[in-house]
Amino acid sequence: MAWWANANEQLRKIIAGFRPQRTHWFEAYTPRDETVQTLETLAETGRVEIELDPILSVPLDIADIRDAAREFEQLSTRYRGYWPHYELCPMGLIEPPEQTAKTALSRLHAWVSRLDPIISQTAVLRQETDDLTLLREFIAGSDETTLNLFALSHQTDLLYKRMFYCPREQTLDVRLRDVVNEEFPRAAHRFLVVVGLPERIPEIEKITAAASCLRVDVPTWLPEHIDEQRTQINSRLDAVAHELKALQQKIEALKDDPNLVEALGNMALLEWYLEHVPATAANQKFCRVTGWTTDTEPQRLQNILRAAGFHAILRFPPEPVGTAVPVQAKELWWTQPFRVFTTMFGTPEENEVDPSGLLVLIVPLLFGYMFPDVGHGLLLVLFSAVLYWRWRDGHFLIPCGIFAAFFGFVFGEVFGFQGLIAPLWVKPLARPLDVLLAPLAFGVVLIILGLLLGGLEAYWRGKWRTWLLAEGAIPVLYAASLGSFFDRKVGLLAIAALGWYYAGNLVQHRRWPLNTLFTATGALLESALRLGLNTISFLRVGAFALGHAAFSAVIQELARHAQNPVLYALVFVLGNAMLVAIETLLVFVQTTRLVLFEFFVRFLRAEGRVFKPLVPPLSRS
């Protein structure tokens, strides 16, 4: 099924081609004396638009935040294990850097003051767990005749009594033999009970430490009998485990503190700045430059600036809240002439379809059908070619003229001359109904395409399910309703689509079913009325084709009544010139109206902002 995978991949690429390119918010810190040159270098890339950050526009003083960074590193050494895993995702600064560092450290110290008691309590409980686990190991191999731990649980002033656990292979210093009461080997450790005079305590502790022996604290609450000791130790271990779990939950809850996350993020950002600032600029003050770029990686712009010898540091933080993200349409030479239609409606945002690629076919088809004449079409091509370099917005007339000439062959029209070429289809005035219905069918396809593009945009916005449940039924219902005029069986599909529409609305708003039915019905009636009017609007395409043929015939008839060849030529030339000028304007207006108000309104809200790259100084005129 490799061909299927390749086909899907190609389809995804084609669909992605209709999506405007999203730009990225960037911020760069540049030494104050390099700011102008840095801006000029960024402008020369053609990939940067400068916009002032509405929240912050202050210089960055590297020296003032180094002390804060050192203090943060000290805290990091001790508490990094308690921080959330995402602390290295810097956020945008909302204060001057020096104040940001001060605020972040203040919040970290406040957080640490809440964490330290929990850490201390956890350490005590873990030590108790270790001691009790060792005591349980000791008791596991003991009986009533063995040393009773109860005797070690109460200290006296006259005698030093301690239990230690040592590695099994470790030997003891001979000096300790006169005070060792007894050795107790167990499964994992060798236990020692040391009894001696108080003045021997320093010597005992030094010798046991040298032998890698560690002390085991025997709790005073141990009962006298060994069976009761086992029960009490197990019970206490369970209680300690429960307490440790509760303390761990408190630590996890502290990790979710939003102030901690923000403080860690901002300090990580400031550390990042300090790490990347070149040594040659370490003692300078930096100016902050912000804006948008079409680059997807900050390193590309960073490398361009470094190659030019500038010491700026650049990153892609989250864009400021509430700002409109500019988008850049994919600039292809074959779509550029038709961008004039899109700009009339507005700029698509990042989750909207850029229809310029579709207009390459739609506009010439509509224009050419309404203006079908081989001679007139070639005149339009010639006119646009002559003004090619002076009138860039009129480049779309070249493909429109070509299609007009093509439909001239379809209808057999050449400056209104009858019988000069045989029509590939029909003569417009001979079969006017066919000429009217053909663009009606094209209009239906165009409207359905617009509805489906609305579904594609819903998918891009993450609202695919919502669209599919209700609005997704509209194109099916529309197509099936029209198809039922030609085949009644298609009406069953229309009924199914109607059920789909109501069921989807009820699924989305199940709490108020009656209100939902009324609202859905009203929306459906409105959509049906609009779709009906939009469909009928395409009759004008055929009407203009018929009108063009009629006007051409009138000009020919007037020329034939001329008294001499000069007058004939004058009437013919002036008549066709007026016809081309007037109908070009009228057909352009009608094509624009159909594209904007019958097609674009189905899917395009045009709430985006166009990306306007910074122009280098030498490029300005």
Distance separating alpha carbons of residues 184 and 142, to the nearest angstrom: 9
Asked if 596 contacts 345 with a C-beta cutoff of 8 angstroms, the reply is yes
Q: How far apart are CA 527 and CA 600, in angstroms?
A: 15
End-to-end CA distance of the chain: 57
Asked if 16-62+272-328 and 154-217 have one fold, the answer is yes
Bridge partner list, 191? 165, 184
386/110 Cα distance (integer angstroms)? 75
Which parts of the chain have pLDDT scores under 50? Answer: 56-58, 86-91, 280, 619-621
Question: Residue 123 class from Cβ within 10 Å (0-12 exposed, 13-18 middle, 19+ buried)?
Answer: exposed
Q: What is the 3-state secondary structure (H, E, C) of 587-602?
A: HHHHHHHHHHHHHHHH
Cα angle 222-227-229, degrees, rounded to a multiple of 5: 15
**How far is 84 from 264, CA to CA, in rounded Å?**
9
CATH of domain 16-62+272-328: 3.30.70
3-class SS shares of the chain: helix, strand, coil, % to 5: 60, 10, 30
CB atoms within 10 A of CB 527: 16
Query: How would you classify the pairing of strands 160-166 and 214-216?
Result: antiparallel
Buried b (16+ CB within 10 A) or exposed e, 319-343: bbeeeeebbbbeeeeebebbbbbbe
Tell me the per-residue pLDDT of 315-352, one tens digit each, with 9 for 90 and over. 888 888 778 889 987 777 788 888 888 888 888 988 99
Residue 280, pLDDT score: 47
Question: CB under 8 Å to 343, separation ≥6 — which residues?
Answer: none
User: Distance between CA atoms of 614 and 616, rounded to whole angstroms?
Assistant: 7
Q: Which residues contact 227 (CB under 8 A, 6 or more apart)?
A: none
Q: Where are the domains of the chain?
A: 16-62+272-328, 154-217, 336-602
Q: Which residues share a beta bridge with 290?
A: 27
φ and ψ at residue 277, rounded to 5 degrees: -70, 125
φ, ψ dihedrals at 381, nearest 5°: -60, -45
Q: What is the pLDDT of residues 504-530, one digit of tens each?
A: 999 988 888 888 899 999 999 999 999
Tell me the C-alpha distance between 209 and 249, whole Å.
36
Q: DSSP secondary-structure letter at 182?
A: E
5, amino acid identity: A
Place of tokens 């070639």: 378
Determine the 3-state secondary structure of 580 from DSSP: helix
Name the CATH code of domain 154-217 (choices 3.40.50, 3.30.70, 2.60.40, 3.30.1490): 3.30.70
Query: What is the structure's pLDDT at 585?
Result: 94
Three-state SS for 99-158 is: HHHHHHHHHHHHHHHHHHHHHHHHHHHHHHHHHHHHHHHHHHCCCCCCCCHHHHCCCCCC
In the prediction, which pLDDT does 103 show?
87
SS3 category, 400: helix
Of 239, 224, 238, the closest CA to residue 147 belongs to 224
Query: Is the separation of the CB atoms in 241 and 133 below 8 Å?
Result: no
Q: Cα–Cα distance between 333 and 354 in angstroms, integer? A: 15
Question: Residue 180 has what pLDDT?
Answer: 58
The token pair that represents 248 in the structure block: 């761990």
Model pLDDT, residue 620: 41
Amino acid letter for position 34: E
Residue 90 has a pLDDT of: 44
* C-alpha 367, offset from chain centre: 38
- The answer to whether the beta carbons of residues 555 and 576 sit under 8 Å apart is yes
Distances (CA, A) of 88 to 60, 247, 269, 418: 20, 25, 8, 78
Q: What residue has token string 């439909």?
A: 407
Helix axis angle, 473-483 relative to 513-537, nearest 10°? Answer: 50
Contact status, residue 610 vs residue 331, Cβ threshold 8 Å: no
pTM confidence score = 0.66
What are the two backbone dihedrals, phi and then psi, of residue 428, each rounded to the nearest 5 degrees? -55, -45
